[in-house]
Structure 1
Amino acid sequence: MVIGVNTFLRSKGSPTILSAVRRMIRATEEEKEAQIATVENLKAAYAPEAAKALKDLQQAAVRNENMSAVLMEACKYCSLGQLTAAMFEVGGQYRRNM
């Protein structure tokens, strides 16, 4: 399960707009707080499984192995932030050449 709270801005700074209906989509404060609580509950409930899954994911990356199966297993127990942080630890952060 991948859970997150995101705000996407267009290059000109406006919030994401659905072009078909031309209305802005934005979560309420209640929805944001509920989503954050869900992520925290997920982390607490699956801490041991997440630790193992993240370690397995990092090891697969370092060994240059196919990471698909390991990543799918990690997604059962980890948030997107946890997955990203684990990959940054072993591989660094991508920086686009400007």
Structure 2
Amino acid sequence: MVRHARSIAQQTESTMTDREARAARNQQKSLAVFLAKKAEFDTLIAELQQASADHFGADPETVLWAEAAWLSDATAKLKDIADQHFHRGEYAC
């Protein structure tokens, strides 16, 4: 009976260790993917900032409604992303 109890305790200990090891590996993989996506995000933000500094290629002297409409659409998409992150608007808790 004592041997059986030890065996169960060792199996439980082993399972917990295996579970913890899997959780640690999962967390490491999650972090790697997160950091890769963050780098991609940061690159896109930098490109957009540069394009914005150049008025998105629009000549301020000849801007027409198409450029204004495109910028309005792009701004709405970025606003939605910001609202999701900061829990504003329809994403408010």
Give the TM-score normalised by the residue count of structure 2: 0.30
TM-score for both structures, normalised by structure 1? 0.29
Higher RCO structure, 1 or 2 (CA under 8 Å, sep 6+)? 1
Query: Which of structures 1 and 2 has the bigger CA Rg?
Result: 2
More strand by share: 1
Higher helix share: 2
